[in-house]
Amino acid sequence: EVQLVQSGSEVKKPGTKVKISCKVFGYTFTDSYLHWVRQAPGKGLEWLGLVDPEDGETIYAKNFQGRVTISADTSTDTAYMELSSLRSDDTAVYYCAPARAETPFNIWGQGTMVTVSS
Amino acid sequence: QSALTQEASVSGTVGQKVTLSCTGNSLNIGSFAVGWYRQISHGAPKTVMFGNSPPSGIPDRFSGSKSGTTASLTISGLQAEDEADYYCSTWDYSLSAVVFGGGTKLTVL
């Protein structure tokens, strides 16, 4: 059974950074890209970017370029998303989801709440 | 403003058939498979349609289709438990990014 287990909630101050993890089970980690999507309170879904665990290549959404770093560790089947220069409007639930190239998401992680507050 | 356009809200009665739409362009919906996701009370999204195929465990009341640059999710025999927010997404060739619709709030009357 495919499962994605994300790290726990985080509370951060503005200007700092957060790094959250997503450990995958039940499929070959390098067979799919690993995407990150977020949802701010009361808002819709927003894509941040992806990593190809096979070679570490990344693609980031324009809105987050320069602030987001997505990586993958094939030794632990874990992907990471680091967001820097945090602002209050980065307060959101962050989800990981695997998908093959240019295909929709079939399964999602449980989400990680990140709260940015002074 | 979302790259994909969805109705803000749709409603139906129990047993009715409803169709949600997701409109894009030739470089996203016109070229790539569309996913549909259900979200209840801002919990984790759950995929209800992967291209034109529902994932295992999704009732066959759910069906997906695409015509040109518009994708549709049809729910037949609407049930109270179908009340949720529904989002669509696909890959966008010009943006080299995943794009989402703004979401449709489905209310079961």
**Residue type (1 letter), B23:** T
Q: Which residue has the tokens 């356009």?
A: B5
Residue among B47, B96, B102 minimizing CB distance to A105: B47
- A101 by Cβ neighbours in 10 Å (0-12 / 13-18 / 19+) ranks as exposed
Q: Cβ separation of A107 and B95 shorter than 8 Å?
A: no
The Cβ-side half-sphere exposure at B50, using a 13 Å CA radius, reads 16
Q: What does the pLDDT look like over A59-76, one tens digit per residue?
A: 999 999 999 999 999 999
The answer to whether B54 faces chain A, any CB pair under 8 Å, is: no
For the cut 90, the answer to whether the pLDDT of residue A101 exceeds it is no
Cα(A26)–Cα(B50) distance, integer angstroms: 19
Asked if B50 has any chain A CB less than 8 Å from its own CB, the reply is yes
B42 pLDDT band (50/70/90 cuts)? confident
Query: Is residue A32 classed as helix, strand or coil in its secondary structure?
Result: coil
Q: What is the pLDDT of residues A9-56, one digit of tens each?
A: 999 999 999 999 999 999 999 999 999 999 999 999 999 999 999 999
The phi, psi pair for B79, rounded to 5°, reads -125, 160
Residue-level pLDDT at B75: 97
Q: Do A44 and B2 touch (CB under 8 A)?
A: yes
* pLDDT of B86 strictly over 90: yes
